[in-house]
Amino acid sequence: ICRQLLSISSGINAEYGGDDIAVFEPGARHTWMEMKGMYVANPVAMVLSSAFMLKHIMLHEAGDNLITAVKAVLRKRTCLTGDLGGNAKTRDMTTAILKELDSRN
């Protein structure tokens, strides 16, 4: 469970720049050099970081739509990376999120 939570957590780090600067990043960064080229990384944290950035720059609807698309893919459980119990590659899960996003527009 902890591994799953780390793989989908993301955040905003506003500690460094004050009120005018924010850094959006996945909650967990791993180098995993032994995994290089295997395309097994879970893209959810990076996608959610992007959604939070959109909301931060006042594109609330776009950010909310992206979050909703991620939630839908996770809820369906048909295209998940290995850390979430599936066997999808990074590109597969990213494509599923984008298709879900497109279906809502």
What is the pLDDT averaged over residues 30-48? 82
Q: Per the structure block, which two tokens stand in for 38?
A: 């295997």
**Exposure letters 24-58 (e unless 16+ CB within 10 A, then b):** bebeeeeeeeeeeeeeebbbbbbbbbbbbbbbeee
Q: Which residues pair with 13 in a beta bridge?
A: 23
Q: Chain-centre distance of CA 22, in angstroms?
A: 17
Rg (the chain; Cα; Å): 14
The answer, yes or no, to whether residue 72 has pLDDT greater than 80, is yes
> Which residue has better confidence, 8 or 74?
74
88 and 80 in contact (C-beta within 8 Å)? Answer: yes
Identify the pLDDT of residue 96: 98
